[in-house]
Structure 1
C-alpha cells in the first residue's frame, strides 16, 4: 500500500512539474524592458566607411561618451572619455587612472582591457594589465566615475585637455578645451578624496604646478599606496566652468554610479517605451529598439540652467524656458528621423524647429541651417532639406514655432545662399544660371571648375543639386501656400518641376547637361563623375538618383512611360550588376554600399525607393523588397548596419519600416504602407491617444498583406494619413506567405 502511495505521489509530482513547465512555455519568459533589447555594439564594424559607435547618453542629452579607440577591433582604449562633443567626434577631455612608475605617466594612457559591459546608460570595464575596475553612470550634463585599484602601489589620476587648460583649486579640477570656431567645452570635476599631491605633466615629466595650458594640458593627482576606491563627480558645459560646476551640483552631487544607472535606465525605458512591439524574434526586437535608441543620439539639448551657448553667433543666450537643440545633419535626417519625432515626440520636434529659427536669426545671414552642429553650421553636403522638416511638421499639426520666420530663413537659404555643395557663400553665377535655365550646368570630364562658390575639394554635383533643389522648392511652395503668399507659392511650384530639365527621355535617367543645354556624352550611369560620382551626382550614382523626385512620383512615373515601365525600371535597379569587381566599384563609390544590384541600402537617398512600387500598382513588391532588405542588412551583430548611420538618419527607416509604414514624401501628411514585421505595435502619442498596428500571423514567411482594415473599415489603399494615426485607433493586417497582388490597387 505504501508503495502504491509513493508511486501515486510521484506521478502527481511529475504531472505538477509538467503543468508548471507547460504554463511557463505557453506564457513565455519574463518580458524584457525596452532598453534591455538595445545592443549598442550593433554595426560597430563598418562594411567599408564609418561604423556606428556604442554611445552612452540619455535621450537627446548634451553629455555623450563612448570608449575611445580607433576601431571596435582595437585592443587598447585611449584613456577614459569625459565628453564627446559631436556625433563621431573624439573625447574633448580624457581621464587616465594609473598605477606604476612615474616615468610611465603619459597625457593619455593606452589601456589593454577586458570584460567591457556597455548599455545606453552605463559603462563598466576592467583594465586588466593595470588591475583597475571602472564603472560609470551619467545624467544629462554630468556624470560619475567610480574607480577601484587592486594594487597597493600609489594611484594616479591624469586629467587631460587636448587643446586648452586645466586648474586645481584645492578641491576640484576645472578646465576647458577649444574645439573649433571659437567654441569651448568646460569641465568641473570633484574627487571624493583629496589627492596627496598635484602636478602638471609635460614632455619633460612631472613638475610642481596646479595648472597647465596648451596642447595636451595635463594635471596629475597622486594618491598614497593602499588607495582602493576613488569616486569622481564631474559636470560639462559649453558656457563656462561655473556652469559646469552648477550642472554637476544639480544632477550628480552625492549620487552613486548605481543610482545614476538606475535613473538612466528609467529614462531610456520611458523614451523607448513610446513604441511597444510584440512578436517577431528576439533579434528583430533587438534591431528595432537599437535603431530607436540611435534616433535619440541627435540632436542634443544644450540648454544649461536656462541658458545656452550658441556657436552661431558666439554668444550665451537665455533660453526663456524653452530648450535649445543642435547637432543635426538635416541632409538625411529630414527623410525619416524628423518625421519619427513628429510622431512620438512632437513637442520636442517643435523645440528643435524653434531652435533652427533662432540659429537663422543668430547667423550673419538669415539662412536656415543645413548641418547645425555644436560649433555652428558646417553647410555640408548638397541642397537645403531642412525646409522639408518645416512643412512636414506644420502639415502634421505642429504649430509651436514661427512658420513665417522659418519660411523666410528657408527661402533665403535656397535663393540667396549658393546651391553649391559644402559652401556657405552667397549665390553667384552658377545660381543665377539655375534661376534662368532651371538646372545646374555640368562640366565635361577634365573641364576645369571656374565657379568660386564651389568648394576647392568638392564638385558641383549638378544632377543631385538640381533634383534636391526641385524638392526644396516644392516645400517652399507648400509653406508659401500655407502662409497665403500666392505669388511665391506659384513661383516655387513651377520651379519644383525643374527635374524635368535634366530627364533624358531616351534613357529614362536624370542626365547632366552642359551650359548649352546638351547632355554630357559619352556617359556611364554607373561610373561617370569621378570619386563618389560627385562630378554629376553625390556619393551615389545615377541609378540611385533616378528616383530622387520625392515630391512628384506620379509625374516621374509618367516620364518613364507609365506604371509598367516604371516598375520594370525599378526591378532593373535591383538586378543590375555592379559593372566592376567590388574592389574597383567601392574604390570609386565607397558610400554606395549595401548593394542589391545598383540599389544602395547604405545611403539615405535610397531609403524611399523600395516603397515606390506602391505608387505604380504593385504594392506586393514593396512588401517583398522591404523584408529582404531589413532581414539581410540590419542584423543583431557587429556588422549589422550596411553603411554610415548618421545618428538616426538610417535607423529611423528601420523603425518605420518594421512598424509597417514610411513617410516617402516629408511635407505630405501621408505614410506609405510596407510589410509590418511584428504581430502588434502600440504607439503612444503625445496627445494621450494610442495607435495600434496589428499584423495577424506576421513572420518571416508571412510577409505579404492579404487584407487590411482601419478602425474596422476595409483599407484597400497602400497608405494612411497622419490624421488617421493622430486620432488613435487600430490598423489591422492579415498576413500570409504568398502575395495578394490585388491588395492596395484602389
Structure 2
C-alpha cells in the first residue's frame, strides 16, 4: 500500500519513524575503496563539501591518488582537500600534523606510524591514534575542517604544524604564505600547479587554546604575538609550527581551519560565523546530514554485506562535485577573476564527466533536487568563463582529460526531464559550441564522419563518444523544435557506423584515406592517448559504445542474434590484454568485460534492447556479486568520483540508465529485497523483489501499481509518479519476459 502514501504529513511521519528504527550511517564504511585501485579517501566531510579532511600517507604513486592507501602504515599529515576515486592525484591542500616536540629542521618531511587497529571512520568523522600517542579526531562542515588532538604523554610539548610545502603526485606548490595574527589565529594561502595548472586555496585557522611560540620554516623563532607576516619565494613552501605549553585542558587542543577560494578574509569571516560551534556539535551535525542523505534510498536485505556495499556506495555518490564558492556565492576562478553565482546559487567544481555522465548524473535527478540545479548551472558558468562546457573541470581549470564532450548528455538529460532552474535555450547554445569547437578533433570528425587516427589519437573511442553526444543534442533539438538541427545531429549520431568492420565484428580505427589501421588485434591496449585507438581499453570494450542506437548496431551485425552472439563472445573471451603499455584502468574482468573502467558499464544491458533481458539479469547479478564487496579493495577499479558507486546503487536496486540521456531505467536483477526511493516531489517509489535470493536472479514477471507490466524498463516520469514495482524472481530464466519488441528500451529516441 506504499504507493498510496503520497501526502507530506504521512511521508514525514514515515521517514521519522524509519529513521528512528534504523540509522543508516552505521552501514557506511569509508575505508571501502581505499585499497586496491579504488583511490577513495577515508576522512571527514559533509555531502559535496569544500572541505574533505583526510589523512595522507606522503607517498607519490598511482594508488595514492587520494593521498591515502590502505596498504600504508604512515601518516604525513591531514590535508583539507581530496579527490575521491580518480586516477590522477592533485589537491591535498593545507596539510596539518600534530607533533610531540618541535622540529629542529623546519623543512623536515615528517611521517608517523599508525595501525589500522587504532583507526576508525564513519560519515563525517575520522579518528586515529598515532604511534607517538597522539589521538586525532576530525570532522567538518561545508567550509571548515575541525581537528581535535589529545596528547597522551605528560612530557610532550604539544605542537601543531602547518606544512604548505606538502604535496604528493602531480601537485607542486608555487607560492605559499602564512601570517600569524595573534596567539590563536593564523591565515594564509597556497597556490599550486599540477593536473589543474592553476589552484588557489586560502585559509584561516584558529586554535582553542593559545600557543606560546611559533617557528616558521626559515628557522626563525619568536613570540606568537609578533606579526610573522612574510611571503616566501615562489616554489618554496612555508611551514609553521605552533607550540603550546603543558597546560592544555585535558591535554587536548582543538583547531578550526576554514577554506575559501577567494581570500583569507573570507576564510576569517567563515571562522567568525563558527565561533560558537564545538567539535561534538559539528560532528553530530555532519552525522545528521549524512543520515538525511542516505535516507533518500533505502533497501531491505537480510545480507548485511550488501547493506554495507550499498550505503557506502550511496555515500560515495555524494562526495563530488565539490563546493567551490564561498558562503556568499563568490569565488575566484582559474583566470583570477572573481564571480558570484546568481540568485544565491553555489558554484561547484570537480566534474569527472567521462565517468559520471553514465550513472551518477542520472541518479542526481532523483537524489539531489536541492543541489543539482546549482551543479548544472556551474557547468554553464564554466562555459561562460572559458568559452566551452567543461570536459574535466578541476578548481575551475579545464584539465581536458579523457574524451567526448560529456557535459552534453548531463545537460540533455536534465533538459529532457524538464529540470527546474536550468535555462534550456542557454544550455542548448552551449552544447552547440562544444559540437562545433575547433579543437579536440571535432573539425576532422565532422569532415570525415569519424576521427581519423592519423589526425589524432583515440579514433574509435572519440568517434563513438561524439556520436552519442550528438544524439543527445539531437534529442534536445527535437524537444526545442529545432527541426534542422535535429536532422543534422541525428545524422552525426550515426557516425559510429563508419568504423564498423564486418569482417572482424569490431569498431576499428580508420585513417583519413578511409582504410582501417593495420595490424589489428582486438586485445591490444595502448595507454598513450596519442597512440591509442581505444582510450583506456581495447576493441572488445569500446566496440559496444552505441547506447543510443542498439538496434542500429544490431543491424551492423546482421541481426539481433548476431549482436547477441558478439556480446556472448565478449563475456567468454580470455581475460587478457596485449601490448607493451597496457592501460592499468581496464580491470575487473569477466571475459573481456572490464567493470573496473566505465566503457563497459552499460554493456550487460544491451541484451535487453534486443529481446534477451534474461541475459542482462544473469550478467548483472554476476557483476554485482564479483565486483563489489565490503573490504578496502571493494571496488574493481577507480571509484571515479561516484560513478562506480552509482552503478552499484542502481543495480542493487534493480535498475540502470543504460542510455543515460533517454530517461529510461532498464531492469537488471535486483540484489535488495526491497528498495524505496524518496523522490524529489515527496512521493515514494518502491521496488520489491519477491522470492529473491542468491540463486533466484531471473525476473519471472512484473507488476506496476498492481497491474501486469511487460516492459523491461521504466520511464523517469513514471518513476516520479511514485508507486510500487514488483518483480517476481526465480532460479531459471523466463525467456518470454521482455521478448516482444514493444517491451524493449531504446525504441523511441532514434527518430
Give the TM-score taking structure 2 as reference length. 0.87
SS in 1 for 2:44: coil
SS in 2 for 1:407: helix
1:528 positional shift: 6.2
**Counterpart selection for 1:373 from 376, 394, 398:** 394
Q: 1:312 to 1:402 in 2, by over 3 A?
A: farther
Aligned residue for 1:255?
277
Aligned residue for 1:358?
381
**CA offset digits 1:155-187 (Å, max 9, x no partner):** 222122124011111141111000334432111
Aligned residue for 2:181?
169
Give the alignment of 1:226-375 within 5 angstroms: 226-227=247-248, 228-250=251-273, 252-320=274-342, 321-363=344-386, 366-375=387-396
Aligned residue for 2:410?
389
Q: Which has the higher contact order (CA 8 A, sep 6+)?
A: 2
**CA offset digits 1:221-260 (Å, max 9, x no partner):** 222234322111221111111111122232x322222211
SS in 2 for 1:103: coil
- Number of aligned pairs? 685
1:330 positional shift: 0.8
Q: CA separation in 2, counterparts of 1:169 and 1:246?
A: 14
Tell me if structure 2 keeps the 8 A contact 1:183–1:314.
Answer: no
Q: CA separation in 1, counterparts of 2:527 and 2:574?
A: 19
Q: CA separation in 2, counterparts of 1:191 and 1:362?
A: 38
Q: CA separation in 2, counterparts of 1:651 and 1:263?
A: 24
Q: CA separation in 1, counterparts of 2:694 and 2:705?
A: 26
Aligned residue for 2:656?
662
**Counterpart selection for 1:149 from 143, 148, 151:** 151
- Structure 2 residue 190 is the aligned partner of structure 1 residue 189: no
**Counterpart selection for 2:448 from 422, 425, 437:** 437
Q: CA separation in 2, counterparts of 1:369 and 1:82?
A: 24
Aligned residue for 1:652?
646
Tell me if structure 2 keeps the 8 A contact 1:302–1:324.
Answer: yes
Aligned residue for 1:493?
490
Tell me if structure 2 keeps the 8 A contact 1:419–1:465.
Answer: no
Q: 1:404 to 1:100 in 2, by over 3 A?
A: same
Q: CA separation in 1, counterparts of 2:533 and 2:385?
A: 34
Q: CA separation in 1, counterparts of 2:580 and 2:692?
A: 36
Larger radius of gyration: 1
Which structure 2 segments of 5+ residues have no match?
Answer: 1-19, 60-68, 166-172, 741-751
Q: 1:615 to 1:331 in 2, by over 3 A?
A: same
Tell me if structure 2 keeps the 8 A contact 1:65–1:91.
Answer: no
Aligned residue for 1:113?
114
Which structure 1 segments of 5+ residues have no match?
Answer: 1-29, 421-430, 444-450, 455-459
Aligned residue for 1:93?
94
Give the TM-score taking structure 1 as reference length. 0.88
SS in 2 for 1:591: coil
Q: CA separation in 2, counterparts of 1:342 and 1:534?
A: 37
Q: 1:419 to 1:707 in 2, by over 3 A?
A: same
**CA offset digits 1:43-73 (Å, max 9, x no partner):** 2122xx5632224211111111221013321
Q: CA separation in 1, counterparts of 2:630 and 2:664?
A: 30
Q: CA separation in 1, counterparts of 2:658 and 2:163?
A: 46
Tell me if structure 2 keeps the 8 A contact 1:575–1:598.
Answer: yes
Aligned residue for 1:33?
23
Q: 1:520 to 1:121 in 2, by over 3 A?
A: same
Q: 1:613 to 1:182 in 2, by over 3 A?
A: closer
Q: CA separation in 1, counterparts of 2:708 and 2:276?
A: 58
Q: CA separation in 1, counterparts of 2:694 and 2:483?
A: 49
Q: CA separation in 2, counterparts of 1:524 and 1:54?
A: 40
Deviates more, 1:204-213 or 1:535-544: 204-213
Q: 1:123 to 1:530 in 2, by over 3 A?
A: closer
